Structure 1
């Protein structure tokens, strides 16, 4: 047989084998829904993959959006990124033989070094337009809490032992329950003890034709309350349920060099003083405020003849806020931010806010200690004044921080030397000085050593 004939024979064999393999593949008969929930308190965003294709990401105490796949067998993977590493680490995998018209939720818990996956499975829920009910499943994803009782009723109905809708241990979930759409209060107590309350929501509206997983999480330092609850809607957007027993809190920062030392009131008649003598670059104590819309009025210290700044804060229960006074007279304003206070296992966090009145845009450099910035790109370029920047992930190490005018290399502020380890939080505000071409930094946490 000639070489050409042999090659043609081999090629035909490969083609036939390939066709045979195609015919052996299973046929999909339908689709199913899949999502993941991040219940690792010290994790950065988890990356959820089907085989090697990214589906979505989930921050702590949140879920990925629901996606639908053919009813075949898949390996679902969980990855996480570590600062300073060029590729993600795979921390967990779960093989699922997906069945048509089923709903799968992967609860990822534990720690990044020792994670676990719990699979919650039920039938997919679909609604007709005329239906007036919603579906709810209650789950337990707060690892620090023991066995819990769940009460879910009208605000007028107190929790009484025997009326609980669920008793759950960590990782458990109930069977689906259909309820008429309306207003409900969720109360979570220690199992068998309705007087030991772990969480109480306000009155929350659950509209018809939603499908919810209601589950608590251990809260981090960005919250006043020890527990937060998510209402994860498997068909649409979900929402959080704040603990009604814990009011929100706010701290004030005076970053407006022309504002002067100020008093802060929470009433227009200036009879209820909340902060006294807030000087430039001062940070107030954290104050309890009301859930809902709050108004604050700044005046010169000891002088109520004029209001120099009015601000509002729309606050959710249990959340810790910050208001930063910025700007120049007569256009002072207050920026509202929720500081990123939650430490993670994968990196140190660096948060920055540019409040200078003299430069519209700044570049920020974070370089290894004693490294020149002449030949490196900024870590954040063209940071706009009065716009909070996204958090920067830092690998452990020693860094110098510089601020320059946009597209320039001459430092306006810095270098500031910081030494960070995993879990550190560096919180910095760039501020003006009396010299209009010199800036400075106010470190609210994680600043240079004294």
Structure 2
């Protein structure tokens, strides 16, 4: 069954700067077209989308640039990334295109860092007046791990049945856009010809009228528990992650409240089925399943359900990975809920720091080459407050020494600690108290090779 069209170019890549014509050399434009780009490489950092050498915005995995409109002329479009340790931005892929007026162009950066591709799609631009009762939807297959897929788009409760798919597509192809009446729908992706082999299914979603959307099927994100990433991209460049309700969220639980004895954790007061039990200070659990939605989490002394230490309500979406940390001194405990980011970068390491040490209102973090004293060096990050996460950052893969000091001072709380970081490795580093209020410790969790 061949109900799709293939409107793409798998681009032969050009590494290096491609120079365009000057404005004076260009022919006169007769109109404009819409341009949109998506970063579909799961192990890539933010990718900058450029027209010639002018940036149209940077975007992270699964997200899009803000839509732009440009004259119907010939341009070279580029995707660049920043790699720590390299002198200039690295050009991943380029595509020369004669832009046609009143068209909408979608550039999907796909493949991998080692072998990137651009999937390019062109369609007539739809202008809505707001009175319509329908919407348009298309789908792009950019998942490197899947073969051919069948796509179903139906009302809730309608199971996939061979012959009812809206299209069958291969990697790099798009299901052409089609009109649908406003209402509730479920998107389902199965292996081609195997409706019983469900690879992805969305939650029930109400689709509103007068809009053009594209769903992009991407590789699995290690930061989430699901097997397929589905990202909804609007014509304006908005991005929405479409979660798969079959995959519950998960959490690691960390006991970081020095001076508090062993602890239990319950979800929604279900003390007969504890999330974690008898957890000692500085101990971290493996990933534990949670319930999607808004739930109450209660920490108690181990075995003492009648004496809650702290109880808080959190909303956690399907597929999310979290870390639930008990922090604070005895008598003032609190729950710190942080997103557990685990998506590595192919060409660098990544670092994620969390200050869970209640003895220190704020600390400075030094990350220096091995053997370098901190005396005359600037901090890697200054003023990491208690109960806060330092913004995630990419770092060059090499050997470092990690040192933690009081904020604004060179008073060492922990370190120097040897720290080797590899490409494709993400380190989640928790700063913890010790029994000595003038000394900190670090707990390092590694994700990656």
Asked if these proteins are the same fold (TM beyond 0.5), I'd say yes
Q: Distance in 1 between matches of 2:299 and 2:114?
A: 48
Aligned residue for 2:352? Answer: 351
Contact preservation (8 Å) 2:258, 2:330: no
Contact preservation (8 Å) 2:342, 2:447: no
Q: Distance in 1 between matches of 2:175 and 2:167?
A: 7
Q: Distance in 1 between matches of 2:24 and 2:97?
A: 23
Moved more, 161-170 or 63-72: 63-72
Contact preservation (8 Å) 1:43, 1:60: yes
Post-superposition Cα deviations, 1:9-65, rounded to whole Å, max 9, x if no partner, equal xxxxxxxxxxxx987642222211112122222211111111111111121222222
Contact preservation (8 Å) 1:260, 1:280: yes
- The structural deviation recorded for 1:305 is 2.3
Show the 5 A alignment for 1:16-165: 25-165=26-166
* Secondary structure at the counterpart of residue 389 of structure 2: coil
Contact preservation (8 Å) 1:298, 1:310: yes
Aligned residue for 2:387? Answer: 386
- The structural deviation recorded for 1:111 is 2.1
- The structural deviation recorded for 1:328 is 3.0
Question: Which 5+ residue runs of structure 1 have no aligned equivalent?
Answer: 1-20
Post-superposition Cα deviations, 1:417-449, rounded to whole Å, max 9, x if no partner, equal 0112211222111111111111111112279xx
- The structural deviation recorded for 1:268 is 2.8
Q: Distance in 2 between matches of 1:192 and 1:183?
A: 25
Residue 427 of structure 2 is aligned to residue 412 of structure 1: no
- The structural deviation recorded for 1:222 is 1.3
Aligned residue for 2:6? Answer: none
Residue 205 of structure 2 is aligned to residue 225 of structure 1: no
Contact preservation (8 Å) 1:35, 1:105: yes
Contact preservation (8 Å) 2:355, 2:389: yes
Using a 3 Å threshold, how does the CA distance of structure 1 residues 25 and 88 change in structure 2: closer, same or farther? Answer: closer
* Secondary structure at the counterpart of residue 176 of structure 1: strand
* Secondary structure at the counterpart of residue 408 of structure 2: coil
Q: Which protein is richer in helix relative to its size?
A: 1
Using a 3 Å threshold, how does the CA distance of structure 1 residues 303 and 25 change in structure 2: closer, same or farther? Answer: closer
Contact preservation (8 Å) 2:44, 2:345: yes
Moved more, 163-172 or 270-279: 270-279
- The structural deviation recorded for 1:177 is 0.8
Contact preservation (8 Å) 2:26, 2:73: no
Q: Distance in 2 between matches of 1:434 and 1:282?
A: 15
Q: Distance in 2 between matches of 1:420 and 1:266?
A: 36
Moved more, 420-429 or 330-339: 330-339
Residue 200 of structure 2 is aligned to residue 199 of structure 1: yes
Post-superposition Cα deviations, 1:162-221, rounded to whole Å, max 9, x if no partner, equal 111111101111222111221111111111110111111110121112211112111132
Aligned residue for 1:16? Answer: none
Q: Distance in 2 between matches of 1:189 and 1:117?
A: 24
Post-superposition Cα deviations, 1:308-359, rounded to whole Å, max 9, x if no partner, equal 1113331221221111111234432212222221121121111101122122
1 or 2 for the larger relative contact order (CA 8 Å, sep ≥6)?
Answer: 2
Aligned residue for 2:3? Answer: none
Contact preservation (8 Å) 2:64, 2:237: no
Aligned residues: CA RMSD:
1.8
Contact preservation (8 Å) 1:431, 1:442: yes
Aligned residue for 2:253? Answer: 252
Aligned residue for 2:423? Answer: 422
Q: Would you identify which runs of 4 or more consecutive aligned residues in structure 1 move more than 6 Å?
A: 21-24
Post-superposition Cα deviations, 1:52-110, rounded to whole Å, max 9, x if no partner, equal 11111121222222111121111111111111123101121111111111111111112
- The structural deviation recorded for 1:258 is 3.5
Contact preservation (8 Å) 1:210, 1:236: no
Using a 3 Å threshold, how does the CA distance of structure 1 residues 163 and 373 change in structure 2: closer, same or farther? Answer: same
Using a 3 Å threshold, how does the CA distance of structure 1 residues 24 and 170 change in structure 2: closer, same or farther? Answer: closer
Query: Taking structure 1 as the reference length, what is the TM-score of the superposition?
Result: 0.91
Aligned residue for 1:4? Answer: none
Moved more, 256-265 or 371-380: 256-265
Contact preservation (8 Å) 2:51, 2:75: yes
Contact preservation (8 Å) 1:418, 1:446: no
Q: Distance in 2 between matches of 1:22 and 1:223?
A: 45
Aligned residue for 2:186? Answer: 185
Query: Taking structure 2 as the reference length, what is the TM-score of the superposition?
Result: 0.91
* Secondary structure at the counterpart of residue 368 of structure 2: strand
Moved more, 312-321 or 179-188: 312-321
Q: Distance in 1 between matches of 2:26 and 2:63?
A: 35
* Secondary structure at the counterpart of residue 175 of structure 1: strand
Contact preservation (8 Å) 1:247, 1:291: yes
| Rg larger for | 1
- The structural deviation recorded for 1:128 is 1.3
- The structural deviation recorded for 1:126 is 1.5
Aligned residue for 2:396? Answer: 395
- The structural deviation recorded for 1:246 is 1.2
